[in-house]
Amino acid sequence: MYLEVYPDIIFILNLFIDFILLFLLKKVNRKKSKFIRLIVAAATGSIFAVLVSIYPFMNIIVRFLIINILAAIIMVRIAFGRMKLPELIKQVVVLYVITFFAGGMLNSLYYYTNVREKLIRIGSALILSNLSLRYVVVMILCLIPITYACLWFMRWYQSEKRETYEVELFFEEHRIYTKGLMDSGNCLYDPVFRKPVMVMEDTLIKDLLPQKFCDEIEEAKHYLQGNDPNQAAFPIGSDNVLRLRFIPYQSIGMKKGMMLGLILDKVLIHTGKETICNEKVTAAICDNHLSTKDDYHVILHKELI
């Protein structure tokens, strides 16, 4: 049997599709990745697709392991850098969920609407066109609106699904129970020690800290904001000053500022399946309510879970 393969067309087509899928994965999970890393990752996936297409009679199990496991892991690793094994598995799974939705929408659009006939006519009218070029045109024209549709759907799904946990905060002999939201958008880090920073409402410090320390923190926030011009010295006692950190932040509205951070002795996160213990956790103190419905009073960092 004679089988004709176009490696260049396979490479270009897969490069475009893989880049779109990785871009969606980046947006859905709010990952950081440079444009060049996404291109290299997509090109790597395209090379795997070309290798498999050159050997069409490859064992089906080997083909599955190369394309569906090995290629996906390497692409995610290249695109988003080093990560722990559970996080890597999570990203690969989400990548396949996105691929499933994108593929299903593309298949429905192509086979169950008149778009197929129109695009075939366009492809047939092109000079030097052939079957492979027609498929390339179909993919490019259809994936653009599908990309935006999938991105909107995944953002909507994530906004509806909130992960909240029972949280215990410890400071010396004090302990309080509250609710914490796992927010992948929390990218705060201690600028000196590069440790993850959670956020908690200032209403919690009254039950968590001694009254004297609470008063000192309130004065310190006024000092940082410059609200009291007569305050000449930083109003934290020497026994508590090592407990504090200064956490720079930037909000979605491009607002920049500095938050006062407090080092807690311990933070317990009850996920339902296990209890995760983190020691010496920095909590940035927020003056505003974190939830309009009081569903949670702490925003957790993804590296704490």
Tens digit of each residue's pLDDT (9 = 90 or more) over 76-116: 888 888 778 888 888 888 888 877 776 666 655 555 556 55
**pLDDT-derived band of residue 128, with 50, 70 and 90 as boundaries?**
very low
- Give tens-digit pLDDT for 210-269: 888 888 777 777 666 665 555 555 556 556 677 888 888 876 554 677 888 889 999 999
Is pLDDT larger for residue 275 or for residue 84? 275
Ranges 59-73, 196-210, 243-257, most confident: 196-210
For 195, other C-beta atoms within 10 Å of its C-beta total: 17
pLDDT of residue 123: 47
The ranges assigned to domains in the chain are 7-160, 163-304
Q: Which of 92, 54, 43, 48 is nearest to 71 (CA)?
A: 48
pLDDT of residue 210: 84
Query: Which residues, 6 or more positions from 238, have their beta carbon under 8 angstroms from its beta carbon?
Result: none
- The 3-state DSSP class for residue 246 equals strand
pLDDT of residue 167: 94
Chain centroid to Cα 1, Å, comes to 47
250: phi then psi, degrees, rounded to nearest 5: -145, 120
H or E element at residue 275: strand 275-286
Check: CB of residue 199 under 8 Å from CB of residue 164.
no
Q: Give the side-chain half-sphere CA count within 13 A for 150.
A: 28
- Give tens-digit pLDDT for 163-189: 788 999 999 888 999 999 887 778 888
Q: Which of 103, 102, 83, 96 is nearest to 33 (CA)?
A: 83
pTM: 0.47
In total, the chain counts a number of residues equal to 305
Check: CB of residue 291 under 8 Å from CB of residue 158.
no
pLDDT of residue 281: 92
DSSP 8-state code for residue 231: -
Please report, rounded to a whole number, the percentage of residues in the chain having pLDDT higher than 70. 69
Q: DSSP 3-state helix, strand, coil percentages of the chain (rounded to 5)?
A: 50, 20, 25
